[in-house]
Amino acid sequence: MSKKYALITGAYSGLGKAFALHCAKRGFNLILLDIPGSATSSIASHLAFKYKVEAHVFEFDLTNTYEARHQLNTISEKFPVSFIINNAGIGGTSSITETSIERIEQIISLNIKSTVMLTRIFIPHLLKQADSYILNVSSMAAFTPIAFKNVYPASKAFISSFSLGLRQELSGTNVSVSVLYPGSIMTNFSVAKRIMSLGALGRMGLLSTDEIAAIAIRKTFSKKAIIIPGMANRINYLLMSLLPVEFKLRIVSREIKKETRVVPSF
Ligand SMILES: NC(=O)c1ccc[n+]([C@@H]2O[C@H](COP(=O)([O-])OP(=O)(O)OC[C@H]3O[C@@H](n4cnc5c(N)ncnc54)[C@H](OP(=O)(O)O)[C@@H]3O)[C@@H](O)[C@H]2O)c1
């Protein structure tokens, strides 16, 4: 049985589930985290049986700082994890006045606070392994501010900055940090509905969770800093880096505003 352990947050659905599959395929034992009642155990049993790996499930709310800190400390002491994937993240589209304070708190707490806390808890343990990897999931939304999303792109820009700073700080150690910037992914019904409401611009670079997870894991192990899956997204990134902020803000926000017509506000 393999002695390598990979930890994945938000492993029950979407991209997290695809990460779990690809880690198992590569022979990693799995530590799968998700919120209580997520039925992650069914995925764990399937992957453990199919790929002959261990699969441990921990269900707790990552935004509950006290409990999450306790659970993460326990997991980090118990399992020699050498690969962490900070995947769990939430967002949405609605005007700022129609977005509840509770929802804003949830986004900041999950996307930013829990990612930083988990990473900080595991780094001393990752430093003890032969080779370790951190893969943080940002988004193409990190490359421009976006009206009607506001907090989400800002949280993903934070993840980008945090990850690249950390990568520099840990250069020369055994820990490599990568950051993933997916474009739109049809992960669940409400995301699919939002994406389909957009024009061609919004649907540009659409890839499956399976394709994204495979690319991201391969490039993480080749120690690439910035991972932008798909040619269309890479072209988009180049354009984003050339265009003046006022211009891209106006164009992207105009497209995103269309989503508010199909998605109820939070
Ligand atoms: N979907 C896209 O178009 C897209 C594009 C770019 C980047 N991303 C990023 O990719 C990552 C994965 O996105 P996804 O669309 O695959 O998400 P998803 O399908 O909604 O899956 C996220 C997982 O995290 C879990 N989760 C939610 N809140 C949690 C909490 N407080 N504690 C622990 N687990 C929690 C969810 O459980 P429940 O389902 O039970 O809530 C779910 O299993 C996110 O960071 C997202 O920002 C997504």
How much is the pLDDT for 28?
A: 98
Ligand 1 centroid to 89 CA: how many Å?
Answer: 4
Q: Which residues pair with 226 in a beta bridge?
A: 179
Q: Are 256 and 197 in contact (CB under 8 A)?
A: no
How much is the pLDDT for 202?
A: 61
- Mind listing the pLDDT tens digit for each residue in 13-46? 999 999 999 999 999 999 999 999 999 999 999 9
Query: Ligand 1: which of 110, 146, 185 to mutate, judged by most atoms within 8 Å of the beta carbon?
Result: 185
How much is the pLDDT for 211?
A: 96
Measured CA to CA, the distance from residue 11 to residue 39 in angstroms comes to: 10
φ/ψ of residue 133, rounded to 5 = -140, 140
Ligand 1 centroid to 121 CA: how many Å?
Answer: 21
CB of 117 shorter than 6 A to ligand 1: no
Residues whose CB falls within 8 Å of the CB of residue 148, separated by 6 or more in sequence, listed in order? 93, 94, 95, 253, 256, 257, 259, 260
Which ligand 1 atom sits closest to the C-alpha of 12?
43
How much is the pLDDT for 266?
A: 40
Ligand 1 centroid to 155 CA: how many Å?
Answer: 14
CB of 259 shorter than 6 A to ligand 1: no
- Distance (Å) of CA 202 to CA 178, 248, 252: 25, 13, 8
Rg (alpha carbons) of the chain, rounded to whole number: 18
How much is the pLDDT for 2?
A: 61
pLDDT means per 10 residues in the chain (266 residues)? 88 97 98 95 98 98 98 98 98 95 98 98 97 98 96 98 98 98 84 70 79 98 98 94 95 91 54
Nearest to 206 by CA among 220, 192, 218, 227: 192
Q: Are 143 and 92 in contact (CB under 8 A)?
A: no
Measured CA to CA, the distance from residue 155 to residue 218 in angstroms comes to: 25
Ligand 1 centroid to 61 CA: how many Å?
Answer: 13
CB of 32 shorter than 6 A to ligand 1: no
How much is the pLDDT for 265?
A: 43
Taking each helix axis from N to C end, the angle separating 65-78 and 115-126, rounded to the nearest 10 degrees, works out to: 20
Ligand 1 atom 25 nearest Cα: 10
Ligand 1 centroid to 18 CA: how many Å?
Answer: 12
CB of 110 shorter than 6 A to ligand 1: yes
Per DSSP, the three-state class of 230 is coil
